[in-house]
Copies of this chain bind each other. A is one copy, B any other.
Amino acid sequence: MRDAYVVGAGQSDFGSFPGESYRSLFRTAFEHTLEGTAVEPGDVDEAIVGTLGVGGRQLGLPGPAVTEHVGLHGVPTTRVENACAASGYAVRQGVQAIRSGMADLVLAGGVEVMTDVSAEAVRYWLGVSGETEWERLSGTTFAGVYAQMASAHMREHGTTVDQLSHVAVKNHANGAKNPHAQLGFECSLADASAAPTVADPLTLYHCCPTTDGAATVLLASEDAIDRFTDARVRVAGVGAGSDRVGLFQRDTYSGVPAARRAAGTAYDRAGAGPGDLDFAEVHDCFAIAELMAYEDIGLCERGEAGQYIASGATRPDGETAVNTSGGLKSKGHPIGATGAGQVVEAFDQLTGAAGDRQLDAPEVGLTHNVGGSGGAAVVHLFERDHDWADVSDGEVVA
């Protein structure tokens, strides 16, 4: 089983772009991904594209539809979908392709277009990622499902609305430093807690926006990596898990068992644990999701996430920086692109290319990507495997 490395990673801006198509967004991400590498499109052996359905435009074959647009027609291309975890799973499948020996260089990424369809259509497209019979058709929205999780966490552990709001404050502060962020402005605790209610107890600032965007990652085998870059970021561990699609069928409302399983596997494979992390990008589609993630990936004990965020431990200067990119909350959440977008931030942090958000020489980072309300989850651990002297601002200098 040979190792897989991230060679490059890039994304489009995340936001509302009526002048762009799902194809043009994917192309922008791909072009940014090639920057600073010696990769030519002809080097790519395989492509994997995560998307929920590009807003209904191309429900079948959206994979080949975007890869042909960047000059990769002919290359084996698979679309994968696991709702909001689509491109996290695409990256995982890329790792499998490389470890299998069937590919040396793989493009894995995702794309979604969400803002130029009606509110009704957005509700439909999100709803179809939830459980159909007992959630969507009974009128439960995604905000409603996560509100039930927040209510359970508050009841069981005493978590407060202000603790939820700390997620928004931190992630907006981070996103304000990210030129790709959709909502790149700061907010105060009072702004977040006093904002209009979307689904009690979640306010507007506890919910991520709807977003257009794309993100892609190039993965190479250990045999091929040196042909393409000196910036060596190793995939140290990968884990995935699934669960019942409907929240009401699970053992708990206040955590995501699939994510716990995924993180456990990823740590095992990496021979590492939460104490080794310098940073994490976690799936904060709603503020409660970030708090549950802290517990599921082991940054704090179960039930303590509210106090943990309030302590500042996950700020950029804290114990483990979380969502330096701004997260889904501020950077945005283009469903199919989100998981790969997390890897873009991890790669940038580990190669010194994170600009105003750059952490001080991080060694290990984690990405945590959840589909639906937890029907699927995937976790990756990435490890710096190059000297800092070899890279600067993501460009190879050696």
Query: Which residues of A come within 8 Å of B, CB atoms?
Result: 1, 47, 52-53, 56-61, 63-65, 67-68, 72-83, 89, 92-93, 95-102, 125-126, 128-132, 238, 240-245, 249, 257-258, 261-262, 371-372, 375-376, 378
Given contacts A77-B82, A78-B82, 14 further A-B contacts (CB under 8 A): A47-B242, A58-B132, A59-B128, A59-B129, A60-B81, A61-B81, A61-B245, A64-B242, A64-B245, A64-B375, A78-B93, A93-B96, A96-B96, A99-B100
Contacts A1-B101, A59-B52, A60-B128; is A242 near B82 (CB within 8 Å)? Answer: no
Complex copy number for this chain: 2
Minimum CB–CB distance for A95 against chain B, Å: 7
Distance from A72 Cβ to chain B, minimum over Cβ atoms (Å):
8
What are 26 A-B contacts with C-beta separation under 8 Å?
Answer: A56-B128, A58-B128, A58-B132, A60-B82, A60-B125, A60-B130, A61-B81, A61-B129, A63-B376, A64-B371, A64-B375, A64-B376, A65-B375, A68-B243, A68-B245, A72-B242, A75-B242, A76-B378, A95-B100, A96-B97, A96-B100, A97-B100, A99-B99, A99-B100, A99-B101, A102-B238
Task: Determine whether the beta carbon of B241 is less than 8 Å from that of A74.
Answer: yes
A80 to B80, CA, bound (A): 4
Query: In the complex, what residues of B have CB within 8 A of residue A67's CB?
Result: 242
The one of B60, B78, B96 in contact with A89, judged by C-beta atoms closer than 8 angstroms, is B78
Contact check, A74 vs B243: say whether CB atoms are below 8 A apart: yes
- Inter-chain contacts of A76 with B (CB < 8 A): 240-242, 262, 378
Asked if A60 meets B64 with Cβ closer than 8 Å, knowing A82-B79, A100-B95, A100-B96, the reply is no
Q: Closest CB-CB distance, A327 to chain B, in whole Å? A: 21
A64 to chain B, nearest CB (A): 4
CB-CB nearest 7 A-B residue pairs: A60-B129, A76-B240, A99-B100, A1-B101, A59-B128, A60-B83, A96-B100
CA distance A68 to B126 in the complex (A): 20
Q: Which of A1, A82, A99 has the most CB of B within 10 A?
A: A82
- If the complex has contacts A1-B101, A78-B80, A95-B100, are A61 and B372 also in contact, measured as CB distance less than 8 A? yes
Beta-carbon nearest neighbor of A128 in chain B = B59
Contacts of A52 in B (CB 8 A): 59-60
Q: List the B residue with the shortest CB-CB distance to A68.
A: B244
Chain B residue contacts of A97, Cβ below 8 A: 96, 100
